[in-house]
Chains A and B, each alone.
Chain A
Amino acid sequence: MAKVLEGPGMGLMKKWGIVVPNFVVISSADELGKLGDAHDWLKKSTLVVKAHEALGSRFKLGLVKVGLDLQGAQAAAKEMLGRQVGSITVSQVIVSEMVPHTEEYYVAVKSTREGAEILLANCGGIEVESNWDRVKKLAVEVGDTPSPGALERLAKEAGFSSELAPKVADFAGKLFACFDSEDAQYLEVNPMVVPASDGQLVALDAVTLLDADARFRHPDWDFPFAAEFGRAYTKHELEVMAVDSKIKGSVKFIEIPGGDTAMLPAGGGASVYYSDAVVARGGRLANYAEYSGDPPDWAVEVLTEKVCSLPRIKHIIVGGAIANFTDVKKTFGGIIAGFRKAKGEGKLNGVQIWVRRGGPREKEGLEAMRALRDEGFDIHVFDRHTPLTDIVDMALQKK
């Protein structure tokens, strides 16, 4: 799942005929002044300025300012840009017109196993959270399109007046078209409002999650996906991602500050079981990592270097199930090279390394790992006869 920020999210909705407020995304306050000459609405409307970053609770952080004129917006933008929140630097703000309204509504399209579900409520904002029973749903099977009649019935069921229901149905239909055509996984408009000025429904705020795997058929997705962690990716994380995008198979790396047990396991399935075992034994994870699909040894080496660079770690868990086709000797070769490099740089002092693995060329791979003992590594190597997560038990001395 890939999150898309408000600006590009609104852009996608607009593409499918949904009315969104005027907005611009800017990265300097001066830019906004210049845009004011080009866009009349910036001078005439009351404006709202929001930090355009993947941050939660922006309101609390003072990263949302409302009721501004252009000058006020410039001042707000100046204040927000460059602000550091955790690991994220605010590098963009979105400036949009405020749309005066009285009622707020909720509409969303959610992916389901069978296709999608359209969710509709005649309340919106934070009210919908506490009134989930007022949300009415319409299931749409993949490949199908909801009929205007069905959407209108849904709107009426959700309590919209017979005057508003056709408009809501039309809006929901467009949101579904956007969902279906843009390979979305989740689209939410909250609130959807009727502006005081005219009767046309407007999407005031949008949540957009797209299927990153479908990128190949959307050449117009010219925006980056946002980190979903509520924080920016770290330098090491980005470096591993860059490697990942270049190779057959995959390598993944996410840092978890404060942990002392580093993970370097194989396989998307087993790696989570290893993480579970650490947590179950009262350990504190220092990262999540995974290599799978028989990646090249140099990619595993890069991953290993990042794992060895984690601060204050006591253990490294080099776990893995019995591989189907990942070459154990080759991938371990990458890990060993990474270990040697780290040791050469003075890392890994007092760090215990725990290894368990099976698969093609397991004997040679495990033998090479075992030989690291002679080079002064504190390494403990086990084969397929030791159950998967027992090395975690041993590392954390519960067994």
Chain B
Amino acid sequence: MSILANKDTRVVIQGGAAGLNAARRMAEFCYMIKRPLNVEAFVYPPDAGKTNEVPYGNGLLTVPVYKTVGEATAHHPQINTSLVYIGADRACAAGMEALNDPKIQVVSMITEGVPEKDAKLLARHATKLGKIFNGPSSIGVISAGECRLGVIGGAFDNLVACKLYREGSFGVITKSGGLSNEIIWICSQFADGITTAIGIGGDAYPGTDYVTYLEMFEQDPQTKAVVIVGEMGGELEERAAEWYGAKKRRIKLLAVVSGFCQESLPKGMKFGHAGAKEGMKGEGSARSKADAFKKAGATVPETFGALGPAIKATYEELVKSGLVRPIPDLSPEDLPKLPKTVEEGMKTGEVMVAPLIKTTISDDRGDEPCYDGYPASELINKGYEIPHVIGLLWDKRLISKQEAEIIKRIMMLSADHGPCVSGALGTIIAACAGIGMSQSVAAGLIMIGPRFGGAVTDAGRWFKHAVDNKMSVDDFLAYMKKTVGPVPGIGHRVKSVRNPDKRVKELVGYVKGLGIKTPHLDFALEVEKVTSSKKENLILNVDGTMAAVLVDLGFPVDSLNGFFILSRTIGLIGHWVDQKRQDSRLIRLFDYLVNYAAPKRREVPPLK
């Protein structure tokens, strides 16, 4: 048995992210006690019509969000309790809305910093309607084995450690959220645990006071004793003591009160909860409260630390008198467990996962990325540059200074080639249509293929084939003609023997001047001699030159197009930024640039 929250409690949560978080905690509790989730709906106007996802066991539950409490209770007529997680400025209205709903009997407000007047208005309204208004600033309510409202009780492991999966004999009422959890723990270690624990909130005027709950505990046969954790300020503890002392009570009462330090502090120095304020005439001091409890016959330990032994003594007394029968503890393997997430399971070595992808080049799991094992910052600090990073990520090796210099020159030569080529034009048209950078640059990159910039890989592949197989130029050209077609890397749209490509000359001159072995470049140049003698524009083009040099450096054939794509991206970004800077207008072709070769206008025949 329990009070306030039980197996029949069905909840609507008024609020956004904080409310959803509470629902997730509540779902953990429901799962622990093997009962369905008790949160039936959310009310949060900004998200009305959506659904919230609440993990339950190893699955996900979907809980609807409504605009009003009325809609929620209309769709879920079992709802009888509302938890309010709405901000302080709207909390009063939200609480009133819930109280005014005929289906709702209990409203617990978690919101902190609610104006006192609002709290009083809510309390008065609830009393008038014969309902319960708990809070504001309440951590929640928990009935062991039955129901959890809010985040009270903490993480799942703590719920289990505190034996909250089954009822005990102690009721708990506290103002402080953290201490409610502490007392629940103490009751589980020094006694048989709790029936219900209630956080009434630390504000000056809690909506429902100790007395109301003491009366309810008195009527709950399972509850044999109640622990109150009080604070100086106000007179709620005095009223509780008065209630307890008024006549013989079935329940035993234990109480501690905080605020004794106040006696030795400079006058006027106040701290703790909003409600922890001593009155102007010394009323509401910790001492007067503790004395009131003692006078009423309650057990009042001298310090908080002495509370555990006091609870233990009370429990042993209850056992001795036969009112309580000790509950054997569950063996560790029978304790409720929350399904582990994959991450948790892997950490403890219980789960093996077949990876979805495999990488051999980079790792982001530390405090910085590592490229092929080398930390990026260390590469920077030791003088490495972009070409080295390319070497690591494209070919998994640290290239030499000389190789890096060649790559740098290749990139500089092919970074851009003016606005007219397919790639730049694609980007410019997109930029003028108001398209964003990544899409516009992609529009340009899409052009890279067999006829524009994309011949590097193929050129490299066939030059390599020829050199690997020790082909002569003539054999190679015959082979290509028979099985492939035009030789990739040979030929240019505008450049020719008489109008050579300066980029090719520059690159070939530099590489040859280094005195390194370049069998592929040498072969390509031999090929060019033959082809250009047949036709003037069949020269070794920039793709072919790059390809031959890069194969000589040892880069894998499949990476070769990457050098052009990477380099030209620099230019394409430039073209996009350039158009953006000019705020260019939308462009289209003029019709005189089109040869309209479509059939002349004619009549559409009847549809058959």
Contacts and interface: CB of A to CB of B under 8 A. Distances in A.
B182 A279 contact: no
Nearest to B90: A216
Contacts of A256: 265-266, 269
Nearest to B182: A321
A74 interface: no
A384 B178 CA distance: 13
Contact of A324 (B139, B209, B236, B276): B139
A323 B155 CA distance: 9
B271 A290 contact: yes
A252 B271 contact: yes
A359 B116 contact: no
Contacts of A361: 155
Nearest to A266: B178
Contact of A322 (B185, B236, B266): B185
B181 A285 contact: no
Contacts of A390: 305
Interface string A382-397: 0010011110010000
Contacts of A268: 176, 178, 202, 272-273, 276
A142 B182 contact: no
Contacts of B368: none
Nearest to B271: A288
Contact of A393 (B120, B204, B267, B305): B305
Contacts of B367: none
A258 to B, nearest CB: 10
Contact of A214 (B115, B235, B266): B115
Interface in A128-174: 141-143
Given A269-B179, A360-B154, A276 B265 contact: no
Nearest to B140: A324
B265 A269 contact: no
A384 B182 CA distance: 9
Interface residues of B, number: 67
Nearest to A384: B185
B124 interface: yes
Interface stretch (A60-68, A107-115, A193-201): A107-115
B277 to A, nearest CB: 6
Given A268-B273, A269-B272, A276 B178 contact: no
Contact of B178 (A143, A228, A324): A324
Nearest to B183: A321
Contacts of A322: 154, 158, 178, 181-182, 185
A285 B265 contact: yes
A254 B271 contact: yes
A389 B301 CA distance: 13
Nearest to A115: B120
Contacts of A277: 303-305
A323 B270 contact: no
Contacts of A359: 154-155, 158, 181
Interface in B265-313: 265-274, 276-277, 286, 302-305, 307-308
A177 to B, nearest CB: 13
B259 interface: yes
A388 B308 CA distance: 10
A359 B235 CA distance: 31
B178 A321 contact: yes
Contact of A229 (B179, B180, B181, B269): B269
B234 A228 contact: no
Nearest to A327: B155
Nearest to A270: B178
B263 to A, nearest CB: 7
> Most B CB atoms within 10 A — which of A183, A273, A278?
A273
Interface in A333-388: 358-361, 384, 387-388
Given A228-B268, A269-B229, A277-B305, A285 B185 contact: no
A213 B185 contact: no
B260 interface: yes
Interface in A216-242: 216-217, 228-230
Contacts of A324: 139, 151-154, 177-178, 180-181
Contacts of B89: 216-217
A85 interface: no
Nearest to A326: B178
A288 B273 CA distance: 13
A325 B308 contact: no
Contact of A271 (B260, B270, B272): B272
Contacts of A217: 89, 115
B520 interface: no
A211 interface: yes
Interface in B159-208: 161, 174-182, 185-186, 202, 204-205
Contact of A272 (B21, B121, B259, B268): B259
A296 interface: no
Given A229-B269, A267-B179, A141 B116 contact: no
Interface in B484-517: none
Nearest to A111: B116
A268 B180 CA distance: 12
Nearest to B174: A269
Contacts of B209: 113
A269 B115 contact: no
B116 A276 contact: no
A216 B87 CA distance: 11
B546 to A, nearest CB: 51
B359 interface: no
Nearest to B258: A272
B264 interface: yes
A7 interface: no
B308 to A, nearest CB: 5
Given A252-B271, A275-B261, A269 B305 contact: no
Interface string B515-557: 0000000000000000000000000000000000000000000
Nearest to B176: A269
A358 B124 CA distance: 37
A276 B285 CA distance: 13
A185 B115 CA distance: 10
Nearest to B189: A385
Contact of A388 (B180, B182, B259): B182
A271 B231 CA distance: 11
A320 B88 contact: no
Contacts of B36: none
Interface of A: 1, 111, 113-115, 141-143, 180, 183, 185, 211, 213-214, 216-217, 228-230, 252, 254, 256, 266-273, 275-280, 285, 288, 290, 292-293, 320-326, 358-361, 384, 387-390, 393
- In order of increasing CB-CB distance, the 10 nearest A-B pairs are A269-B176, A267-B178, A321-B182, A214-B115, A321-B178, A142-B120, A275-B261, A272-B258, A269-B179, A279-B261
30 contacts: A1-B274, A111-B204, A142-B124, A143-B121, A183-B117, A185-B116, A211-B115, A213-B88, A213-B113, A214-B116, A217-B89, A228-B268, A230-B268, A256-B265, A256-B269, A269-B174, A270-B176, A273-B304, A280-B302, A280-B303, A322-B158, A323-B181, A324-B153, A326-B178, A358-B185, A359-B158, A361-B155, A387-B307, A387-B308, A389-B304
Given A113-B209, A113-B235, 20 more contacts: A1-B274, A1-B277, A111-B116, A143-B121, A185-B116, A213-B116, A214-B115, A214-B117, A267-B176, A269-B273, A272-B258, A272-B259, A272-B271, A273-B304, A290-B271, A322-B182, A324-B177, A384-B161, A384-B185, A390-B305
